[in-house]
Amino acid sequence: MSALTAEELLSPADLDRVRAAIRAAESRTSGEIRVHLDDSTVDDVLDHAAFVFEELGMHRTKYRNGVLIYVSVAEHRAAVIGDAGIHDKLPKGFWNETLGTVLEQFKAGRYAEGLCRGVERLGEQLGAHFPSEADDRNELSDEVSIGR
> For every one of its 148 residues, what pLDDT tens digit does the chain have, with 9 covering 90 and above?
457 888 899 999 999 999 999 999 999 999 999 999 999 888 899 999 999 999 999 999 999 999 999 999 988 899 999 999 998 899 889 999 999 999 999 999 999 999 999 999 999 999 999 999 888 888 898 999 998 6
- Please spell the DSSP secondary structure of 121-148, one letter per residue: HHHHHHHHHSB--TT----S--SPEEE-
At residue 42, the pLDDT reads 84
**Cα separations in angstroms, 108 against 2, 16, 24, 101, 105:** 11, 20, 24, 12, 5
Residues 111 and 128: their CA atoms lie apart, in Å, by 26
Cα gap 148→139, rounded to integer Å: 24
CB contact set of 4 (below 8 Å; sequence gap of 6+): 73
CATH topology of domain 6-147: Diaminopimelate Epimerase; Chain A, domain 1 (3.10.310)
Q: Is 118 exposed, middle or buried (0-12, 13-18, 19+ CB in 10 A)?
A: buried
> Model-level pTM?
0.94
Q: Which residues pair with 145 in a beta bridge?
A: 36
Are 142 and 58 in contact by the 8 Å Cβ rule? The answer is no
